[in-house]
Structure 1
Amino acid sequence: MAGLALLGLATALGRERFLRWRRSAMVTAPAPGDLDTGLTPRERIELLASQRQTILGAITSIGVILGVILTGSGLIYTSRTLEAAKDTQIADRYSRAIDQLGSPALEQRVGALYALEQLATDSPRDVGVIENVVISFINGRSGAGTVLLPSPSPSPSVSPSPSAATRLGEDLIVALDVLGGIRSTDERFRDNLNGIDDDNPHYEHGVPVIDFHGADLRQIDLSGAYLEGADLSLADLRGANLSHAWLSDANLDQANLEGTQLTEANLEGARMTGIRGKTRAEIEARATVNEHTAW
């Protein structure tokens, strides 16, 4: 844009200098016979000098125009070079983050997730791709014993099974938090657009979803977790802590909510058909629902 502005300025300056030169030539340039009409030597010298100044003025104007054009072209080239360098840098950062997501070291996986969140800010056009990567990471690491850790203080009201886990791993907690930050600015998610493989169980209306369908989540601590649009249908959430969790538009059809803590959980627009372990009145007394919550 700066280059185009300079080119426009050059055109305007060139036109002005050209018109000034034409006016000068019309007023001061001697006619072919002027030097032979009985002028004095001094007058002849002045006429010749006037003609030379007109020519030099025209040359100067052309030089100024060419200089501005060259400067504008240089700025355009510099802008394109910087844009290409930025694209290369973003691609390198993305590749490093992807590599670190598969690391056995927790700190590297967490660092990679925060790096992806920053990339989503620095490169808005790549938000959709980054969101898919984070959700794939969550869904890929949702097996028992992989992302869930023993609870330091299990609830006495519900007996956990020997294989039940009760607390999300640190990397999954970070992943859910990062996903919430990314989706807050993702227009594709906000508008629920179509366009991705709707036959994929991890997608709904073209938007990727967190898939905890049928998962054993007894005693799990998901307090404050970002689970908007998540699939928790048929999940066993007995004794789980979903206090302050963001579950708007989530699918909890036929989930078991016996002993589940739902204090100030956001269930606006959530699907709650066939839930077990709690009545609608009990849920409405604790959680936030609206007219779009399906029972």
Structure 2
Amino acid sequence: MKPVSMVVAAVGVVLVAGIVWVLGPGARWVLEHIDGVTIGGPAGLVGKDLAAALDAVRGRVLAVATGLAALVAVYYTARNADTARRTFQLGERGHVTDRYGKAVEQLGSAQAPVRLGGLYALDQLGQDNPSPALRQTIVDVICAYLRMPYTPPLDQTGQSEPAEPGAVDSGVSAPVARDPHEERQVRLTAQRVLTAHLRYEDPPAHRWWQPSTADPNARHWTDVRLDLTGATLLDFDLNRCRVGDAGFDKATFSGDAVFDGATFTGHARFDKATFTGDAWFGEATFSSVAWFDKATFTGQAGFGKVTFTREARFGKVTFTGDARFTKATFSSVAIFDKATFTRNTDFGKVTFTRDAWFGEATFTRDAGFGEATFTGDVWFGKATFTGHARFDMATFTGHARFDKVTFTRGAMFDGATFTRDAGFREATFTRVAGFGKATFTGHARFDMATFTGDTWFSQAKGLEAALLVGVRVTPAAAGVRWVWPPCWRVEADADGWRTLRLAEPEPGSTAGGEKEGPTGAAEG
């Protein structure tokens, strides 16, 4: 017997003995010594009065005894209920474990219908049991299944080799000699099970007089983590979903991948992921870091209006199709070093709150940064723009570095504002270079820059102290037009090329103050 039970038993024996004694001769002692009543004598109780007083004492004791008995009964009833509850929970837990085990076993079946049954069984099990731990375990199992090796069919009617047997991962056996078309349906179902519980709708506004409506997020599982590292995902659709940590490193997205409106509350990792179709992330929110280093986007990549709250890494990423980041917001560091943009690129009206790195990036076709805002420092050092590079009306609040950048076609900075230093050292402007109405508040460095095409600085401001050491301007040619600031002059070199120097404005300047020469060539 436990010590507590022994104490309770001893106390119970004493109480029972005391009650029995009071019901007997002890009633007279209680009346005299506790109630202070005199018994016998001229002034004391005798006869019927004494009997009534003794009965009153015994009644009080019986009431106390009844109350104590009730308390004991409640205590033991509660204990029995708790024991029954624990027994039920153990039985329920065993039932859940049994259902889970059978469902996982079904996933290892060679028959596609059986595997589908296992997925639906896991789905219902998680919905019936709101335990976050159980739901996360179910998600882990489904993710493990999707990580198994798989070769998609060549097309809807073609044939392809079945996947090779794989190792066991999280208790799920790799598919063995499975038909790829049937396996495709199983995997699509697994993806739908996941996304059905990750999709989240903002609750509609509700007024007190309006009738209650069904919860749109009754099937949403909160704080779910996804680990789909190396998985092959088919037409993956995570739009309007809310997920915690998400791992897609080295994953292959076969077909289009849709993440529009998705919210990643934890780390989002897409390093070395391959998107074989279009990838849409429009209006997605990354609350933590977002890593896309060395990812490959074969189709279009849409990141319009995306919010990157913390570090966004796109280092060495490859965009084979159009890449659109229109109106995206980078609240922390944005890294695009050595990224490759094969087709058109649009960063129009993007906001970079912290530093932005585009060092050694390659833009094969047009790159648009019009009206972009760079609040921190920005580096484009050694970047290559083969198509048009448009920075019209862009705002550079921090340092802007374009050192050793190659602009093969148009480089348009018309109306841009450079609040701090703007560096174009050793930059090459092969065709058009436009800085019309640009404003340079800090130092403007064009050391060793080369201009070989049309160039204009019409109404540009703040270039009186620009650094022009070693600037090279191509010899005059028909059809080439140069418009320099009034504080610059052009001088001929011995090899026929020209160089730029600082000079005071000269009489004869045009109304706008720019210097122009015959046949469109500017002269100092």
TM-score (norm 2): 0.36
Q: Does 1:83 pair with 2:84? A: no
In structure 2, the partner of 1:126 is 134
Separation of aligned partners in 1, 2:126 and 2:99: 11
Judged with a 3 Å threshold, the aligned counterparts in structure 2 of structure 1 residues 180 and 251 are, in CA distance, closer, same or farther, namely: farther
Choose from 53, 74, 78 the match for 2:80.
74
Judged with a 3 Å threshold, the aligned counterparts in structure 2 of structure 1 residues 79 and 207 are, in CA distance, closer, same or farther, namely: same
Percent of residue pairs bearing the same amino acid type: 16
The one-letter code of the counterpart of 2:136 is G
Separation of aligned partners in 1, 2:84 and 2:328: 54
Judged with a 3 Å threshold, the aligned counterparts in structure 2 of structure 1 residues 61 and 49 are, in CA distance, closer, same or farther, namely: same
Q: Does 1:143 pair with 2:150? A: yes
Judged with a 3 Å threshold, the aligned counterparts in structure 2 of structure 1 residues 254 and 47 are, in CA distance, closer, same or farther, namely: closer
Separation of aligned partners in 2, 1:51 and 1:182: 68
In structure 2, the partner of 1:235 is 274
Q: Show CA shifts across 1:126-172 (max 9, x none).
A: 333322211110010x4214xx46247xxxxxxx9x88x99981222
Separation of aligned partners in 2, 1:72 and 1:180: 43
Residues 1-295 of structure 1 correspond to what in structure 2 (within 5 A)? 30-31=31-32, 34-37=38-41, 39-121=45-127, 122=129, 123-140=131-148, 142-145=149-152, 148=153, 150-151=155-156, 169-181=184-196, 185-187=221-223, 189=225, 209-210=247-248, 212-213=250-251, 215=252, 217=254, 220-222=255-257, 229=268, 231=270, 233=272, 235=274, 237=276, 240-242=277-279, 249=290, 251=292, 253-257=294-298, 260-262=299-301, 272=314, 273-280=316-323, 283-284=324-325, 289-291=328-330, 294-295=335-336
SS of residue in 2 equivalent to 1:30? helix
Q: Which runs of 5+ in 1 are unaligned?
A: 1-24, 153-159, 191-195
In structure 1, the partner of 2:479 is none
Judged with a 3 Å threshold, the aligned counterparts in structure 2 of structure 1 residues 210 and 169 are, in CA distance, closer, same or farther, namely: farther
Report the aligned-residue RMSD. Answer: 4.7
Structure 1 position 253, deviation (Å): 2.5
Aligned length in residues? 237
The one-letter code of the counterpart of 2:155 is P
Structure 1 position 36, deviation (Å): 3.4
Structure 1 position 99, deviation (Å): 0.7
Q: In 2, are the aligned partners of 1:29 and 1:50 still within 8 Å (CA)?
A: no
Q: Show CA shifts across 1:96-135 (max 9, x none).
A: 1111111223333233223333444422123333222111
Separation of aligned partners in 1, 2:108 and 2:64: 67
Separation of aligned partners in 2, 1:234 and 1:83: 43
Q: Which has the larger radius of gyration?
A: 2
Judged with a 3 Å threshold, the aligned counterparts in structure 2 of structure 1 residues 107 and 265 are, in CA distance, closer, same or farther, namely: farther
Structure 1 position 267, deviation (Å): 6.8
The structure with more strand, counted as a fraction of residues: 2
The one-letter code of the counterpart of 1:274 is V
Q: In 2, are the aligned partners of 1:131 and 1:179 still within 8 Å (CA)?
A: yes
Q: In 1, are the aligned partners of 2:278 and 2:297 still within 8 Å (CA)?
A: no
Q: In 2, are the aligned partners of 1:150 and 1:167 still within 8 Å (CA)?
A: no
Q: In 2, are the aligned partners of 1:149 and 1:166 still within 8 Å (CA)?
A: no
In structure 1, the partner of 2:512 is none
Judged with a 3 Å threshold, the aligned counterparts in structure 2 of structure 1 residues 202 and 234 are, in CA distance, closer, same or farther, namely: closer
Separation of aligned partners in 1, 2:335 and 2:181: 28
The one-letter code of the counterpart of 1:189 is R
Separation of aligned partners in 2, 1:265 and 1:96: 44
The one-letter code of the counterpart of 2:247 is V
Q: In 2, are the aligned partners of 1:253 and 1:271 still within 8 Å (CA)?
A: no
Separation of aligned partners in 2, 1:208 and 1:264: 18
The one-letter code of the counterpart of 1:67 is A
SS of residue in 2 equivalent to 1:150? coil
Q: In 1, are the aligned partners of 2:271 and 2:291 still within 8 Å (CA)?
A: yes
SS of residue in 2 equivalent to 1:114? helix
Separation of aligned partners in 1, 2:224 and 2:80: 37
Separation of aligned partners in 2, 1:102 and 1:131: 16
Judged with a 3 Å threshold, the aligned counterparts in structure 2 of structure 1 residues 234 and 189 are, in CA distance, closer, same or farther, namely: closer
Structure 1 position 37, deviation (Å): 2.7
Judged with a 3 Å threshold, the aligned counterparts in structure 2 of structure 1 residues 149 and 271 are, in CA distance, closer, same or farther, namely: farther
Judged with a 3 Å threshold, the aligned counterparts in structure 2 of structure 1 residues 139 and 230 are, in CA distance, closer, same or farther, namely: farther
SS of residue in 2 equivalent to 1:187? coil
Separation of aligned partners in 2, 1:65 and 1:182: 47
Q: Show CA shifts across 1:50-72 (max 9, x none).
A: 23212222221221111121122
Separation of aligned partners in 2, 1:80 and 1:255: 53
